[in-house]
Structures are given as structure tokens and as C-alpha cells.
């Protein structure tokens, strides 16, 4: 299955007069440009510590979607435990980096837009794992995000998330969210099973994250 992307294809090559190359600093949400420029401070070179802790105590099996997977560290951590994992990202360069890593298990990477997923993905996944995608999208698209992750999950499928509560920046991304907003967004489509403050985090993110395990309502 191939994910579509809604990005427009420029008719002129990047960098030409009519299609100036994006400036990754002036346009922080041009993800492809950020990867091309190597301007990726979110890439810590390994899976998120709260995910590693979760995997040590809880199996994740079946088909798993990781939206906004970037170079795929979380994808490989999950697939190394036996799940079939699809890493999705807008950025082809991020996915090239991901594919350059040795295969950890049954993982694949698809370029595409979470907001324009193929119909055949609907109801196909047992799990969605969220880490630094929700905080990367424009906050006004959060309801669309919840619809997208809900649609791809099987009824009763699990949604595991590490949310940024307070990224400590004036202007995102990353865009923080508080517990009340998260609950308001998710409660219609997902029941909350467990919520916890992670006991480990990347340096600088301590105390800024909250983990939730949810189940898609039938
Ligand atoms: C802050 S980065 C985090 C990447 C990865 N999760 C990590 O922690 O290294 C956000 C990622 O989300 C991707 N992204 C943003 N909007 C997206 C969308 N609408 N669909 C798919 N991926 C998206 C970006 O390309 C980028 O790789």
C-alpha cells in the first residue's frame, strides 16, 4: 500500500527563480528542507526513552503505524519486538535516512501525508504509536489528526502516545498541549486506559511529557 502525499509538485526545480529553495529557518514546518539541511534537533539518534520503557513491560504486536516517524528510531524499536511496523513521513529525505539503517524486523517506510491517507489503510492497524508528530502539526489540525489515527485503527485498536505538555518554546513547532485539551480531542473516539508521567526522557524533555495508552472505541 502506498501513502499519498498532498504536497504540491512544483513545476520549476527547487532553487530556480520561480520556485526558491525553502529556507529551513524562516519556514520551520518545511520538514523536507529541515532534513536536507541537517537541521533536525529532534533526532536524538535512538528511540524515545518512554517507548523503550513501555516495550520492556508491555508487548506491541500486529500491525503498527508510526506517523511522522522521521528517521525511524521508534519504528525499529517496535519492529525489533516482532510487530509489523509502517513508518509514515512527509519527508523523503527522512525516510532515506530511515531506510539506511539495518532492518530491525518487519518494518517498512511510506512517504505520505497523515491527512491524506489511502482509503485502503482504514481499519488496518492494531496500534498507532505517537511521538513528536502531534506536536509538529499545526494545532488547528488536531481534530483532523484524531480522525486520521482513529480511521486507520481497527475497532479496539490501541493508541500509545508520548505528548509534549510544555516544550518551552514561544512559537512552535513543537506545539504543546495540556491534558484537558488532549482529553477533549480524544475522548469521543478513544477511551483512556492508562496515563503516566514517563520516568525517563531525552535530555531537556524531563517533566515535559505525558504518556497515554488509549483504545479506539468500537
Ligand atoms: C519533530 S519531527 C519528529 C520525527 C520523529 N518522530 C522523531 O522523533 O525523530 C516531526 C515529523 O513529522 C513529520 N510530519 C509532519 N507533518 C506530517 C504529516 N502531515 N504527515 C506525515 N508526517 C508529517 C515531519 O516530516 C517530521 O519528520
Lining ligand 1 with CB less than 6 A are: 31, 42-43, 67-70, 88-91, 94, 113-115, 131-133, 136-137
The low-confidence residues of the chain, meaning pLDDT below 50, are 4-27
Ligand 1 centre distance from Cα of residue 95 (Å): 10
Could you tell me if residue 75 is inside a domain?
Answer: yes
132 domain residue, yes or no: yes
Assigned domain for 51 exists? yes
* 15 within a domain of the structure (yes/no): no
Q: Is residue 20 part of a domain?
A: no
Q: What is the pLDDT of residue 72?
A: 98
Domain total for the chain? 1
Write the CATH number for 72. 3.40.50.150
Do residues 78 and 54 lie in contact, with contact meaning Cβ atoms separated by under 8 Å?
no
Residue 35, domain member (yes or no): no
Q: Which of 42, 67, 193, 51 is nearest to 128 (CA)?
A: 67
User: What pLDDT score was predicted for residue 166?
Assistant: 80
Full residue range of the structural domain in which residue 189 is found: 43-216
In the reported structure, the alpha carbon of residue 212 is separated from the centroid of ligand 1 by a whole-number distance in angstroms of 19
Residue nearest (by alpha carbon) to ligand 1 atom 8: 132
pLDDT at 3: 54
State the pLDDT at residue 19.
44
Helix (H) or strand (E) holding 156: strand 153-164
Residues 6+ apart with CB under 8 A from 119: none
Please give the pLDDT value at position 14.
Answer: 39
Domain contains 4: no
What confidence score (pLDDT) does residue 28 get? 53
Closest to 196 (Cα-Cα) out of 75, 57, 42: 57
The confidence score (pLDDT) of residue 22 equals 45
Question: Does the reported pTM lie above 0.85?
Answer: yes
8 within some domain = no
Amino acid at each position: 500500500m502506498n501513502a499519498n502525499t498532498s504536497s504540491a509538485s512544483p513545476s520549476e526545480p527547487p532553487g530556480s527563480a520561480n520556485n526558491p529553495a525553502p529556507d529551513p529557518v524562516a519556514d520551520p514546518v518545511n520538514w523536507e528542507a529541515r532534513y536536507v539541511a541537517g537541521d533536525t534537533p529532534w533526532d536524538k539518534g535512538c528511540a524515545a526513552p518512554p517507548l523503550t520503557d513501555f516495550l520492556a513491560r508491555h508487548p506491541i504486536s500486529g500491525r503498527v503505524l508510526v506517523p511522522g516517524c522521521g528517521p525511524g528510531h521508534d519504528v525499529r524499536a517496535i519492529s525489533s519486538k516482532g510487530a509489523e511496523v509502517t513508518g509514515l513521513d512527509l519527508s523523503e529525505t527522512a525516510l532515506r535516512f530511515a531506510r539506511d539503517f539495518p532492518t530491525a524486523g518487519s518494518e517498512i517506510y511510506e512517504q505520505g501525508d497523515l491527512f491524506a491517507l489511502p482509503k485502503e489503510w482504514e481499519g488496518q492497524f492494531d496500534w498507532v504509536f505517537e511521538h513528536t508528530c502531534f506536536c509538529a502539526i499545526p494545532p488547528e489540525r488536531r481534530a483532523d489528526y484524531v480522525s486520521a489515527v482513529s480511521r486507520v485503527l481497527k475497532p479496539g485498536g490501541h493508541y500509545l502516545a508520548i505528548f509534549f505538555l510544555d516544550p518551552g518554546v514561544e512559537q512552535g513547532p513543537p506545539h504543546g498541549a495540556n491534558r484537558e485539551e488532549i482529553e477533549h480531542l480524544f475522548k469521543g473516539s478513544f477511551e483512556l486506559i492508562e496515563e503516566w508521567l514517563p520516568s525517563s526522557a531525552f535530555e531537556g524533555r524531563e517533566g515535559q511529557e505525558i504518556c497515554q495508552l488509549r483504545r479506539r472505541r468500537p
